[in-house]
Copies of this chain bind each other. A is one copy, B any other.
Amino acid sequence: MRTGSPLPEPRNVTRTVEVMDAIRQRMADGRLSPGDRLPSIRRFATAMGVSPSTVVESYDRLAAEGVIRSRPGSGFYVSGSLPPLALAEAEPRRDRAIDPFWVSRQSLDADAEMLKPGCGWLPADWMPNAALRRAIRRLAHADDAVLADYGSTHGSLALRRLLARQFAEEGIAAGADQILLTGSGTQAIDLICRFLLRPGDAVLIDDPCYFNFQALLRAHQVRIVGVPYTRDGPDTALFAEALAEHRPRLYITNAALHNPTGATMSPQTAHRLLKAAAAHNVTIVEDDIFAGFEPDPSPRLAALDGLSQVIRIGSFSKTLSASVRCGYLAARPDWVEALVDLQVATNFGGPSPVSAELVLATLGDAGYRKHLEGLRRRLARARRETADRLAALGLHPWLMPRGGFYLWCSLPDGRDAANVARTALDERVILAPGNVFSVSQSAAGYLRFNVAQMSDPRVFEVLKRAIAAAEG
């Protein structure tokens, strides 16, 4: 951003939006119907306490949207007809089965009043929005090509170079040409699945693991095989057994901080996994999405293996922004080329150049790094405090994670997490019951909590009632 460039006046923008909203409100509550003439500019300016030019701007923009129409010499009129709006758009269906989509749908479509201790992201005001806003202001001055064009098939070279430097620090030698930007971390895994899997193939995942791995693999119609997860990572003996029995093509796991448990893989486990996987020609997808929350680096399969049989994927959704969608993968060069074709075929090109530019600028913002440090401290405090408050309700974490925002807690006295979650949802609190994470359905006695989403005391009140109501 050039210093001294005139920034837009936010107040006028706000006033224009207020006038537009006032008109929309009149249409919504029936005071203005299709065909009705809008108030005159002068009269409405007086009524709203704004300048006539603000009303003109508002009417022009509503006309550009098609909400109202101008009839020359006669004023503005409400347009023909509004389409029907179904109730379903505001309300996710509460009665749907508690399956791997349950938490996603409830959390993503929750309205602002709902509390979401079961969701998988930070509250909006815990995110580095100041740094992102600076990046957005810079973006307004970017070249036409950044704003208008599809961008290259691999995605922003500058961002790929930055990632390559970060990988080098971890000991992973990957050129920028081995990195492919994607629309999201999930989309990166999806591309890999499309590339490597055929219906009926076996795929190993951790049990428990991130519920969307299961949802994604269902879309690929593969056989999902769970490997029990220990406090040191997947159980290596059972992992080896599963390899021999199911001959899987792929194993998908989290690096750094495991979702939902918050556990960290030990170096011995990492080494044994790689050795067993190599013997059976299994490709490993290592999802590094929680890396930014680690207090210090932990073993990485990709670093031990050097991107031979491991594919690293990640995104910026947890620490930077989930709204600016951008993920990545790093893999063998020949695989990257095939994945590029797949991404062109299925999404015409890579992620938005505008998104990549915003990510790059935010990562390079000094305020972002300070934010991350502060965030780690804030989360450490929230983890301790939340664990104490949950303990008072008889909920105990399976382990105390080194970082991140998850606590994987056992319920007291054999109570069923799905029942607790259903009761809580009636009180507008979204929980994450254990079995949505478990392919073997063996986690009925667990809930995953997000310590950053639990500052409202109502969470604990509802939780207490819901636990009491659930059968023991």
Contacts and interface: CB of A to CB of B under 8 A. Distances in A.
Interface of A: 7-8, 10, 13-14, 28, 60-61, 63-67, 79-92, 100-101, 104-105, 108-109, 112, 121-122, 124-125, 127, 129, 132-134, 136-141, 143-154, 157, 160-162, 164-169, 173-178, 183-187, 190, 194-196, 198-200, 212, 215-216, 218-219, 281, 317, 321-325, 333-335, 337-338, 340-342, 344-349, 351-355, 358, 363-366, 368-369
Nearest to A210: B348
**Stoichiometry (number of copies):** 2
Interface class of chain A by DSSP: helix
B200 A28 contact: yes
Contacts of A364: 61, 64-65
A345 B219 contact: yes
Contact of A92 (B83, B340, B368): B340
A165 B125 CA distance: 33
A138 B8 contact: yes
Contacts of A341: 87-88, 90, 101, 105, 215
A194 B346 CA distance: 11
Contact of A88 (B79, B173, B177): B177
Contacts of A154: 89, 109
Contacts of A152: 108-109
Contact of A348 (B104, B169, B338): B104
Identify which of A148, A174, A178 gathers the most chain B CB atoms within 10 Å of its CB: A148
B168 A354 contact: no
A141 B8 CA distance: 10
Contacts of A173: 83-84
A179 to B, nearest CB: 9
B148 A323 contact: yes
18 contacts: A60-B366, A61-B366, A64-B369, A65-B364, A66-B166, A82-B198, A84-B175, A84-B195, A85-B196, A85-B198, A89-B157, A124-B148, A132-B148, A136-B136, A136-B140, A218-B345, A321-B354, A324-B354
Contact of A86 (B132, B145, B199, B333): B333
A331 to B, nearest CB: 11
B138 A66 contact: no
Contact of A124 (B147, B340, B351): B147
Given A66-B166, A101-B344, A323 B147 contact: yes
B168 A83 contact: yes
A10 B108 CA distance: 37
B323 A353 contact: yes
A90 B160 CA distance: 13
B166 A86 contact: no
A79 to B, nearest CB: 7
A359 to B, nearest CB: 11
Contact of A85 (B7, B194, B200): B194
Nearest first, the 9 closest Cβ-Cβ pairs linking A and B are A127-B148, A215-B345, A124-B144, A124-B148, A89-B177, A86-B177, A186-B348, A90-B337, A325-B352
Given A13-B138, A65-B363, 9 more contacts: A80-B169, A85-B161, A85-B175, A85-B176, A90-B337, A148-B322, A150-B322, A183-B183, A325-B351
B345 A87 contact: yes
A10 B101 contact: no
Nearest to A334: B90
A218 B338 CA distance: 13
B147 A129 contact: yes
A84 B165 contact: no
Nearest to A17: B138
A75 to B, nearest CB: 17
A354 B323 contact: yes
B127 A144 contact: yes
A338 B86 contact: yes
A365 B61 contact: yes
Contacts of A317: 150, 348
A153 B159 CA distance: 27
A29 to B, nearest CB: 9
